[in-house]
Amino acid sequence: MRAAVYFKHGKPEDVLQAVDVEDPKHPDHNEVLIRVLLRPVHHGDLLGIAGRYQPGAALPKEGVRVGFEGYGIVEEAGSGVDLKPGTRVAFFPGRGAWSEKAIVSAEYVTEIPDDVSDEAAAQLHVNPLTTALLLRAVETSGAKPGHDVVVLTAAGSAVARLVIGLLLDRGFDVVGVVRREAGVNELNVVFPDLPVVSTDKPGWRDKVVAAADGHPIGVVLDPVGGDTASAAVGLLAQGGSLVSYGDLSGQPISVPALYFSTRDIRLSGVTVGRWAGLPVNVRKADLKLALELAASKPELFLVEQTFDLADVAKAAALVEKPGKSGTVLIASR
């Protein structure tokens, strides 16, 4: 079978390749062998390939198989697993999702109902589960609908769109921050009444404050870091929280020390990388939310382009291109 592999850390488009490897053997007890048909390319995958999580770590001689999320059909179920061959499933986390076949623990395999498209199923886990984590972080912050404003940076991203939709459903006032003026209209196509401010114009922080209309900014949800997050922290009301969930700028967040002592500002972060370790009842509720979103809001699971596995390097390069309007998928049908 073919698998996306890298042998050294580096720029994803330079180091990723599709190579022939041995097919996986039969699944063990409580495992599932899945023929993977589609998988998304996440910024987090690219950080791993670039070596940003563990700089300088040595890689195995046979290379590293990429990917943790995918969609496909059951080829064979191990003992103790009640899934018939041919069943549509998605999975996360499962190693080597960017391979034509993967063996995954049945605990992390989700059966896909008929009302969820293949493309949405391929995006069922990482982004919607991150959305669930971010909603819990908003809840934990103590912010209340109708009282506090939630600001999202990189508000046009796939994750942010899911979060905005659910925050609005729950009655929160939300302000979106994007980096390009054109991104304002793009986001208003999906959320017509959402106040959206672009950082490429001077005075964007004042515009966010004006959009909050006198309400306290209780939470900033930020995957950018750098200047954007540093400026956004300054917008938080007394006791407000910045929740970091990404590093798109690659730059540190800088916060004046007095914000902590005098304004009780809190900084925290979430990662879907720890989701598999959450209690079963929490994971079940998160998956229920993910399936509801995938079935009821397909417009939030847009696909920018689908590449064949052979073009894995091109797929990775497209993910970082400004102005995308959906997720990049890799197919092996």
Ligand X SMILES: NC(=O)c1ccc[n+]([C@@H]2O[C@H](COP(=O)([O-])OP(=O)(O)OC[C@H]3O[C@@H](n4cnc5c(N)ncnc54)[C@H](OP(=O)(O)O)[C@@H]3O)[C@@H](O)[C@H]2O)c1
Q: Which residue is nearest to ligand X (CB)?
A: 246
Per DSSP, the three-state class of 109 is strand
Q: How far apart are CA 312 and CA 329, in angstroms?
A: 10
C-beta of 127 vs 141, nearer to ligand X: 127
Residue 128 buriedness (CB in 10 A; 0-12 / 13-18 / 19+): buried
Q: How far apart are CA 209 and CA 121, in angstroms?
A: 38
Residue 261 CB, shortest distance to ligand X, in Å, is: 28
Q: How many other β-carbons are positioned within 10 Å of the β-carbon of residue 13?
A: 17
Residue 30 CB, shortest distance to ligand X, in Å, is: 25
C-beta of 77 vs 178, nearer to ligand X: 178
Instruction: Name which of 274, 287, 305 is nearest 129 in CA terms.
Output: 287
Residue 309 CB, shortest distance to ligand X, in Å, is: 20
C-beta of 60 vs 322, nearer to ligand X: 322
Q: Are 1 and 101 in contact (CB under 8 A)?
A: yes
Q: How many other β-carbons are positioned within 10 Å of the β-carbon of residue 313?
A: 18
Residue 284 CB, shortest distance to ligand X, in Å, is: 19
Amino acid at 276: A
Residue 75 CB, shortest distance to ligand X, in Å, is: 28
Per DSSP, the three-state class of 1 is coil
Residue 130 CB, shortest distance to ligand X, in Å, is: 4
DSSP secondary structure letter of residue 195: -
What is the contact surface with ligand X in residues (CB under 6 A)?
42-44, 126-127, 130, 154, 156-159, 179-180, 183, 223-224, 228, 245-246, 248-249, 270-273, 319, 322-324
C-beta of 75 vs 247, nearer to ligand X: 247
Strands 70-77 and 31-40: antiparallel
C-beta of 268 vs 271, nearer to ligand X: 271
Instruction: Name which of 263, 248, 218 is nearest 44 in CA terms.
Output: 248
C-beta of 67 vs 223, nearer to ligand X: 223
